[in-house]
Amino acid sequence: MTTLRLGIAALLAAAIFTTLPAAAGPEKVAFPVGYQTDFVIFERIDRDDRKIVRFMYVNRDALQAAKAGQPGATQGTVLVMEDHKVRLNGEEPVRDANGRLVPTDELGIVFVMEKQAGWGSEYGEALRNGEWEYAMFRANGERIDRPTTGCLECHKGQEAVDYTFTYSGFLFSR
């Protein structure tokens, strides 16, 4: 009987959750299916300290708007930071002819930040990153269910350049 009641409670909870409008948080950000072919790689960052190479992607429309001189990221901008493990020789990273790390196809976390009209309004000023929301995924698109407060806190320091790090050059270089 208890099991049945719990089952009903779970069903009700699920029904309530699916009918509520999405609250602030990572669930608003969907995995950008097909980003590896549809988006543009705009930056590569070698992180010796973490033995990873990061590729940064942006959706084409957003990049076009940025290049056309639109200040700040347009609504609908999706930025992806894709971590690749590097080739190792024992514990030591292998280097190419230019002394750079060699990314493998083995992906770590896929970080996504997305800007949409009206997003972020639920946050207090101390945390709010304009209209950006953040999320983490595995390479297969599975969501990593962790709070994104840390993302907001750290990127908040980049407020003057629309909360971006490597992408800021495209937004504010002109």
User: Between residues 14 and 144, which has the closer beta carbon with respect to ligand HEC?
Assistant: 144
The length of the chain is 174
Smallest distance, Å, CB 49 to ligand HEC? Answer: 9
74 within 8 A of 66, measured Cβ to Cβ: yes
Q: Does 81 bind ligand HEC (CB under 6 A)?
A: yes
In the chain, DSSP assigns E strands to: 40-47, 52-58, 78-86, 88-89, 92-93, 103-115, 132-137
Q: Does 74 bind ligand HEC (CB under 6 A)?
A: no
Query: Which pair of tokens denotes residue 13?
Result: 């909870």
Q: Does 53 bind ligand HEC (CB under 6 A)?
A: no
Touching ligand HEC, residues 95-154 (CB under 6 A): 111-113, 134-136, 148, 150-151, 154
Site string for ligand HEC, 4-43 (x = CB under 6 A): ----------------------------------------
Angle at 34 between CA 31 and CA 37, to 5 degrees: 140
Smallest distance, Å, CB 149 to ligand HEC? Answer: 9
> Residue 137 CB: number of other CB atoms within 10 A?
21
| Number of residues located near ligand HEC, criterion CB under 6 A | 22
In 72-153, DSSP assigns E strands to: 78-86, 88-89, 92-93, 103-115, 132-137
Tell me which residues touch ligand HEC (CB under 6 A). Answer: 45, 47, 54, 56, 79-81, 111-113, 134-136, 148, 150-151, 154-155, 164-167
